[in-house]
Structure 1
Amino acid sequence: MEATSQAWKISSKRKLPVGPRASRRKTVARRRVRQMGMELIVSEVPMTRTQLSVLSKGRSFVPGPPPKKALLENLGSSMNRLKEQINKRFADSLLPGQGSLPNMSKQEREALKDLAQNPDLVIKKADKDGALVVLKKESYIAMGEAHLSDTETYIPLNNPDEALQVIKRQSKILKKNPDTGLWPGRPVLSGCNAPTRPVDRLLTTYLTPLLDLLPERLQDTTAFLKKIATLPRFPSGSIIFSFDIVSLYPSIPQEEASWIVANFYERNFAYVKERLRTDFNIIAPPPYLIKEGIDHVLQGTLLRFNNHFYNQGKGTAIGASVSVAIAEIFVHASIEKRRQNLDKQPAVFYRYIDDIFGIFTGTEAELLEYHQELNNIHPDLNFTVEYSKKELPFLDTMVYLDAEGKVQTSVYHKPSNTHQYLHFQSCHPPSLKRSLPYSQALRIKRIVSEPHKLEEALKDMVSFFTKRGYCKRTLGSALKRLKEATGKQS
């Protein structure tokens, strides 16, 4: 092989003449180069000329790339095989261990199709607890028209062509009456695709910083738990109470609300300006633009029901994002100052939008008198009251006082709660379904303040998830993970 290499070097340095005869000589020289070294191959079996040529290249020879056409064909075939493998693995991961088995029977699929194609039925989600309500279409229409008969709140429009240009969407969400078992409708106007949506979103950004200035406000259950954890012990006989504002969103007077919110914005303009600059790097608009924007959103709420068109003349659209900020600021500015001037004050007074929680250290008669005085503050805000010396539900917690007068909490489930967690056979990623029991267990751990009640609450949670198709292994893993996580936190 060393002699062959030397021969190649000699032939490669040799200069060949130019011309037709030179071209023939060049071809002969190339053939001679390819054939050089073949005589050094020793074999006991007959070999073809091509086999000898290949072996003569030496053991260290590295083959070059294939022709371009073959390369493209092999590349396309490899990509197709890779695509098939990725799709198969993804499909298998959706329902591990079950392959491509469907999660609904043939009869269930046909039943679902029949329900979807039945024009005489209306299927809606309940406002609370995740239940589904199936109504006859005529009952649903009659229910909606009963609400729309309030011409003070819903003003009929006589020009449907003009209304069609601005109306985008209208929906109904149902809320069950636990006393009668009926499903009376509650009008909820969706503002997701409404013509006022751009202004609605801007106002939400501008007004949200003001919510931090409401001392009695609760943002969510977590904020409620943090506040009551710092409360002192209360004397024996203290009363736990809750007030509820009846139909807050539909009861808000539009003109008064826009003036009150804009005035509150103006009085705290320096704070809003700094917050908007720090959080979003935007300039706060002047107060007069805030009032114009609120008037535009509140007075521009249009809806369509059963081919009739209406304008909401009172209240705010629950589906508009700025409605929460308007309602919160309106309630605070309307009652808070006058409420604090009342003679007898509760020891605790927290408010989550239209739900109020408090602890009263006086008598029941004094509490009822306080409730009556609260109802006399504003003509459009009507409060209902519930109270108990033992325990009372608020948000998703059951609040009670222990033997030492310390406020304690446990998990509360409404009687209408159907615990419709995501079914385990649903075609969702397995990681999501595995995380649901853990997240619920973590929520229960956060709510239950006394350890001896935690085990019972977790047992109830396990039974709820078991009914939704979750296996013992998944639920046990969630409880083990909860124990490890809370152990690290402590």
Structure 2
Amino acid sequence: MKRKTQNHNRIHEFLIKELETFVIRHKLTIKESDKNAGICVMKTTDYNAEIIRQLSDETIYRPSTNSEYLMKMEEFTDKVRYLSNWLFKDLKIKRIMPINHSPAKFYILPKIHKKFVSFPVGRPISSTKKSINKGIAMLLDTALQVLSFHIPDLLIDSPHLLLLLEHLELDPNRKYILVTADISAMYLELPIHICKQNCIKFFRENANKINFPFPINEAQLKILLDLCLDYSFLEFENNIHFQHKGIQMGNSASVSIANITAAVELENLKSEFVKFLRRFIDDIFMIVDITDLETSIPEWLDSFFKHNFLKFTYEYSERQISFLDLNINLDENNKISTSIYRKPMSKHEFLHFSSNHPKHLLKSLPYSSGLRVIRSCSDNETKNKELELLMSKFSLRGYPNTILKPIKQRLDSIIRSDILIPKSKLLIHHLSLHNPEILSHYNRTTPNLITPSNGVYIVFPFCNNIHGMGKLTKTMFLQELIYRNHNTLRKCILDLNVNIAFSIPNSINRFIHCVNANHRKQVLNE
């Protein structure tokens, strides 16, 4: 099977080496931009200067040394071994600690979607893939994810917001405004001790309502938070720094910690004028009744978004505002409608039909994209225009009419209310806790989030000539076990859910990011 699925490079190796040489000799850096706005080609000096500017902020980072890093790693190892023998005896956390570790690799994603003069500000990312507390952070996140479902104002995704808006009724005789707000640099502005306090406080208030994936108490949670947040070392160009404020953007538990911390900090973000408020990590959407507002709207919003250390930016409108991937509209009768929002930097391009991807994936793209249009557009006229535009874009990307025409006919027959039915376990679980009336409207029951998984993932290079890889793999397992008379194992194999994943195809972008160090030195020496 491996021999038949070898995926040869579509780009000649000579061209790749020439491109690598060009990039190195001209001292260029190629990175993805923030918000998936495209690929950035930059002078390495400009890119490094922006990173050094950020790391020079001593309120967040401080210079460190390799000796301090090694000393702290020994301290971390001793703690884990000690705690593993009594407090975490069942979890055996020392087994998830890597033998070979290194500080997080620091890099930035240029924010080209925002105005800049000479070089855009970069979003700081710490790649913790090889950090010593990677496994601890993943374990902590498993518990915090379940805990975060008890945040009432939390948004799971866009379908969650659409469901809430669909069942929201506003008084037609009142005057409302739509407000969106953003917590500026939330991950960097959160004090670490506040993160720990808020997570423990929220755990104490909600632990008795939750069936955690593994047994955990308050003392264990505190130790996991310490191990996760107190060893935030990062490295750039062989220089080690320590992040003493905020959460590393790249830490496995960062989103859950930020969500819970913000939920506790924003508990007082309430007012009789706010009729609807939901938050997606650091983005907030509100509907405010301004009929009886005694001050001006900006003055009221400034006082409403006042906090000790969190800073907010906001926008408001009486008729239309964008939030996540939606345009939210309010008509004269205070009826809410929605449509798709496209960011100005979006390229609006889909995968080309001639791309080396499974055909079932290519054929499913127009249909799944059409379902998103139907779900997001509450007005039929807007929906029809968006579907026509969508089909024309796929046609430009090489998709034949023999595929697009039946898909368009199928999409035209779909009713939006059927698309809005909550399906994901996470969404249904959150609705069951905070909006059970929506679930009862759609006759949905609450699933069990903590179910044992019998999934097995096998990664192959993609090949057009082999189909039904999952079924074929399972059949081969069974034939071998039947031959060896392993009846017990045979039953286990029958219960397996074999999933086939294809490895990332070769591309110019991938080769540039993986330039061989020896080749780089050789080029520079020449």
Q: Same fold (TM over 0.5)?
A: yes
CA contact (8 A) 2:101 2:131 kept: no
Structure-2 change in CA distance of 1:295 and 1:367 (3 Å)? farther
CA contact (8 A) 1:245 1:355 kept: yes
* Residue 376 of structure 2 is aligned to residue 438 of structure 1: no
Which residue of 194, 216, 223 corresponds with 2:153?
216
- Higher RCO, Cα 8 Å, sep 6+: 2
Deviations along 1:432-490, whole A, 9 cap, x unmatched?
11111111111111000111101111223234333433333333233233235549949
Which residue of 300, 303, 310 corresponds with 1:370?
300
Deviations along 1:375-434, whole A, 9 cap, x unmatched?
333x22111110111210000000001343211100000101112432322211111111
Which residue of 117, 123, 126 corresponds with 2:33?
126
Report deviation, 1:300: 1.2
Which residue of 117, 131, 135 corresponds with 2:42?
135
Partner of 2:321: 392
Partner of 1:322: 253
Paired residues, what number? 383
Report deviation, 1:354: 0.6
Partner of 2:431: none
- Which structure 1 segments of 5+ residues have no match? 1-82, 95-99
Give 1:142's aligned amino acid.
A
Give 1:384's aligned amino acid.
T
Indicate the larger mover: 141-150 or 153-162: 153-162
Structure-2 change in CA distance of 1:460 and 1:111 (3 Å)? farther
Partner of 2:284: 356
Structure-2 change in CA distance of 1:421 and 1:298 (3 Å)? farther
Give 2:282's aligned amino acid.
D
Which residue of 242, 246, 251 corresponds with 1:311?
242
Indicate the larger mover: 122-131 or 173-182: 173-182
Give SS of 2:35's match.
coil
CA contact (8 A) 1:234 1:406 kept: no
Partner of 1:422: 351
Structure-2 change in CA distance of 1:270 and 1:454 (3 Å)? same
Which residue of 353, 376, 383 corresponds with 1:447?
376
Partner of 1:300: 231
Deviations along 1:269-291, whole A, 9 cap, x unmatched?
2123xx22xxx4x32x1212212
Partner of 2:122: 185
CA RMSD of aligned residues (A): 2.9
Report deviation, 1:150: 0.4
Partner of 2:168: 231
Give SS of 1:240's match.
strand
Partner of 1:265: 203
Counterpart CA distance in 2 for 1:228 and 1:265 is 30
Counterpart CA distance in 2 for 1:126 and 1:474 is 33
Following superposition of structure 1 onto structure 2, how do residues 82-97 of structure 1 map, counting pairs within 5 Å?
87=4
Partner of 2:55: 148
Counterpart CA distance in 1 for 2:49 and 2:396 is 36
Report deviation, 1:259: 1.2
- Which structure 2 segments of 5+ residues have no match? 71-99, 420-526
Which residue of 95, 98, 106 corresponds with 1:170?
106
Counterpart CA distance in 2 for 1:180 and 1:162 is 36
CA contact (8 A) 2:114 2:120 kept: no
Counterpart CA distance in 2 for 1:244 and 1:432 is 35
CA contact (8 A) 1:130 1:420 kept: no
Deviations along 1:116-171, whole A, 9 cap, x unmatched?
34222211112213511111111111111111110121111033684595315334
Structure-2 change in CA distance of 1:354 and 1:114 (3 Å)? same
Indicate the larger mover: 196-205 or 180-189: 180-189
Counterpart CA distance in 1 for 2:63 and 2:381 is 58
Counterpart CA distance in 2 for 1:183 and 1:479 is 41
Give 1:157's aligned amino acid.
S
Give 2:20's aligned amino acid.
A
Counterpart CA distance in 2 for 1:176 and 1:198 is 33
Deviations along 1:96-131, whole A, 9 cap, x unmatched?
xxxx9x977x7xx86655333422221111221351
* Residue 401 of structure 2 is aligned to residue 472 of structure 1: yes
Counterpart CA distance in 2 for 1:116 and 1:463 is 37
Identity rate of aligned residues, in percent? Answer: 28
Counterpart CA distance in 1 for 2:162 and 2:147 is 22
Counterpart CA distance in 1 for 2:58 and 2:340 is 42
Give 1:477's aligned amino acid.
P
| TM norm structure 1 | 0.72
Which residue of 263, 286, 289 corresponds with 2:217?
286
By percentage of residues, which structure has more helix?
1
Report deviation, 1:298: 1.4
Counterpart CA distance in 1 for 2:175 and 2:222 is 47
Structure-2 change in CA distance of 1:144 and 1:160 (3 Å)? farther
CA contact (8 A) 1:360 1:367 kept: no
Counterpart CA distance in 2 for 1:315 and 1:128 is 21
Partner of 1:46: none
Report deviation, 1:323: 1.1
